[in-house]
């Protein structure tokens, strides 16, 4: 046999052998997180779609049909706001917001350059939110961004921009919840002149004659009518009591949801799939099949190496062997053995027009990122956009500040690995922390650790005023955590070495009077 042909045959045989993932727990337990994700540490997410139009809340599509219910911000009544702004929900429903989702000022390449400068190494596009609207040229959902609204393939344009900047690319799927999410669209006012008039969730394709949505079936968007959850007029916030679950999603609905995921996988070949689901998406049988199919395709695309990452929430220990745990808003209080991710919003999930903007200051983003990375995690940060496609002025400021910090400190973040312990100090050591709503007040005694080869990085979470001595207690000989002898000590952003000494209590380091970066600074310890 020709040597070249023989080599190709061997490669093909090896590749086929590597692709033997089956739809079983025992097979999928071979999964290992790809190195690209472990190296990346920081990603940016675009929660975007028609729900950005009303500038009101992240669950507007459901809450606009709920009478007298405050949105998640606890500052507004979406039902009342909708009637005052757009009209009654029987005549102007959620579907009618779609033409106002224009993306006319959206410049994905411009934004992606900023995201990369700010340190992002992967980007995640919204695929579909609970509103069941697909942000790509969907083969299975006619209500999509190519057919209506911006008439642009949002996923594809984000992907093209990400790849141009060398970023890995993911797509998020939240549509599994649409079955229950849109049950509210079939309610009606309980009082007033429109009492008892059904909202537009009952409309069918035949009702669209002469309307802008002629030819489209609203039940493809709102899901077919079914026995609703009782009570149907709740927001599903923490503490909401569900007395009866109603009809569960049927096979046709779940099969279509998975079919839409596979449509994205086959059309765009993303490296990452995010599910706003608890446990395996769309049930065990469909979930296992989805995992094995995606992993096998990823190996086909990448020469036999699985580069795929799949994420969902509240996984069992057994599920964590098959794919990746994601936290929303909160994150792990302790170091975890397996890589994981936190997703968090710089300014919420969808664009919200508030008189006083609410967003995380750059210092909190930096501290949150460092804490997560020290615990073997990644941070995915959402930045909201208007229906036109712009981000907020304060988001531009944040990106510039983050870029300045990363220019100095990225060495201790990207490509790093967790150390034997994640940190020390009096602040934020125990328990899980909701970092979006609870700011941790760090002190000069708080440190977080990362490592790369023989170098240990110790982030000073709150730089002492005027510099001076700091003590890293975890490096005392009696702790037995540091291997080898400390050879020298420096700091990222400082050209000269730092004075240091070992004491019975730990490593004492003399910090410069002026910090090299505005936020947390990284001491570089050579071993």
> Same domain for 405 and 465?
no
Q: Are strands 330-331 and 433-434 parallel, antiparallel or unpaired?
A: antiparallel
> Same domain for 104 and 165?
yes
Sorted by sequence, the CB contacts under 8 Å of residue 332 that are 6+ apart come out as 340, 342, 372, 375, 377, 432
Instruction: Answer yes or no: is pLDDT of 5 > 90.
Output: no
Q: For position 229, what pLDDT does the model report?
A: 83
Query: Cα–Cα distance between 158 and 424 in angstroms, integer?
Result: 39
Q: For position 234, what pLDDT does the model report?
A: 66
Give the domain extent around 513. 418-526
CATH number at residue 388: 3.20.20.80
State which H helix or E strand residue 58 sits in: none
Query: Cα–Cα distance between 483 and 497 in angstroms, integer?
Result: 21
Boundary of a domain, candidates 396, 412, 428? 412
> Same domain for 118 and 165?
yes
> Same domain for 311 and 454?
no
In a domain, 189, yes or no: no
> Same domain for 387 and 429?
no
> Same domain for 426 and 380?
no
Token pair for 385:
């956009």
State mean pLDDT over 180-188. Answer: 94
Q: For position 28, what pLDDT does the model report?
A: 97
Q: For position 7, what pLDDT does the model report?
A: 41
E strand map for 304-430: 309-313, 324-328, 330-331, 340-345, 377-382, 417-424
> Same domain for 460 and 350?
no
Q: For the segment 413-430, what is each residue's pLDDT rounded down to a tens digit?
A: 999 999 999 999 998 776
Q: For position 429, what pLDDT does the model report?
A: 74
State mean pLDDT over 448-459. Answer: 96
DSSP sequence for 168-224: EEEEEE-GGGHHHHGGGGG-BBSSSTTBT-B-GGG--GGGGTTSTTTT--HHHHH--
How many domains are there within the chain?
2
> Same domain for 431 and 390?
no
Boundary of a domain, candidates 370, 391, 412? 412
> Same domain for 350 and 446?
no
Q: For the segment 105-129, what is each residue's pLDDT rounded down to a tens digit?
A: 999 999 999 999 999 999 999 999 9
Q: Which of 9-18, 58-67, 361-370 has the lowest mean pLDDT?
A: 9-18
Three-state secondary structure call for residue 434 = strand
- pTM, two decimals, is 0.93
> Same domain for 318 and 382?
yes
Q: How far is CA 480 from CA 11, 59, 473, 506, in A?
A: 46, 50, 11, 11
CATH number at residue 492: 2.60.40.1180
In a domain, 217, yes or no: no
> Same domain for 374 and 423?
no
Q: How far is CA 492 from CA 47, 79, 85, 517, in A?
A: 34, 52, 52, 9
Q: For the segment 21-35, what is each residue's pLDDT rounded down to a tens digit?
A: 999 999 999 999 999
Boundary of a domain, candidates 359, 389, 412? 412
In a domain, 227, yes or no: no
Q: For position 165, what pLDDT does the model report?
A: 98
């Amino acid at each position: 046999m020709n040597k070249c042909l023989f080599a190709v045959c061997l490669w093909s045989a090896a590749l086929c052998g590597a692709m033997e993932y089956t739809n079983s727990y025992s097979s999928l337990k071979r999964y290992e997180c790809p190195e690209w994700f472990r190296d990346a540490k920081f990603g940016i997410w675009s929660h975007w779609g028609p729900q950005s139009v009303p500038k009101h809340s992240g669950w507007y599509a459901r809450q606009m049909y709920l009478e007298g219910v405050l949105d998640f911000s606890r500052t507004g009544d979406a039902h009342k706001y909708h009637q005052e702004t757009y009209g009654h929900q029987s005549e102007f429903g959620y579907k009618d917001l779609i033409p106002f989702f224009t993306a006319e000022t959206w410049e994905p390449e411009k934004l992606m350059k900023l995201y990369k400068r700010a340190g992002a190494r992967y980007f995640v596009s919204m695929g579909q939110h609970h509103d069941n609207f697909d942000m790509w040229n969907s083969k299975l959902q006619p209500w999509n961004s190519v057919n209506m609204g911006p008439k642009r393939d949002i996923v594809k344009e984000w992907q093209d921009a990400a790849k141009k900047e060398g970023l890995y690319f993911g797509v998020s799927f939240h549509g599994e919840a649409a079955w229950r999410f849109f049950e509210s669209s079939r309610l009606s006012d309980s009082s007033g002149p429109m009492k008892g008039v059904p909202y537009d969730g009952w409309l069918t394709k035949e009702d669209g004659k002469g309307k802008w949505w002629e030819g489209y079936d609203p039940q493809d968007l709102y899901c077919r009518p079914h026995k609703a959850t009782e009570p149907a007029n709740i927001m599903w916030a923490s503490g909401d009591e569900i007395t009866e679950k109603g009809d569960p999603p049927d096979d046709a609905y779940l099969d279509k949801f998975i079919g839409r995921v596979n449509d994205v996988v086959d059309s765009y070949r993303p490296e990452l799939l995010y599910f706003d689901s608890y446990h395996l998406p769309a049930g065990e049988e469909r979930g296992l099949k989805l995992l094995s199919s995606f992993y096998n395709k990823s190996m086909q695309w990448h020469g036999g190496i699985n580069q795929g990452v799949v994420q969902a929430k509240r996984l069992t220990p057994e599920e964590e062997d098959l794919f990746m745990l994601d936290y929303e808003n909160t994150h792990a209080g302790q170091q975890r053995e397996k890589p994981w991710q936190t997703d968090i919003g710089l300014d919420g999930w969808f664009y919200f027009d508030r008189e006083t903007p609410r967003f995380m200051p750059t210092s909190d983003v930096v501290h949150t990122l460092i804490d997560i990375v020290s615990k073997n995690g990644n941070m995915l940060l959402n930045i909201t956009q208007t229906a036109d496609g712009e981000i907020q002025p304060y988001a531009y400021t944040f990106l510039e500040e983050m870029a300045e910090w990363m220019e100095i400190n990225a060495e201790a973040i990207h490509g790093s690995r967790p150390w034997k312990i994640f940190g020390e100090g009096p602040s934020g050591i125990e328990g899980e922390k909701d970092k979006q709503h609870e700011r941790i007040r760090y002190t000069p005694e708080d440190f977080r650790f990362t490592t790369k080869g023989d170098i240990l990085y110790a982030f000073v979470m709150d730089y002492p005023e005027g510099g001076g001595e700091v003590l890293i207690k975890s490096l005392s000989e009696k702790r037995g955590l540091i291997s080898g002898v400390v050879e020298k000590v420096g700091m990222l952003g400082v050209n000269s070495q730092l004075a240091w000494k070992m004491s019975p209590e730990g490593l004492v380091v003399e910090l410069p009077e002026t910090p090299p970066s505005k936020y947390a600074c990284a001491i570089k310890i050579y071993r």
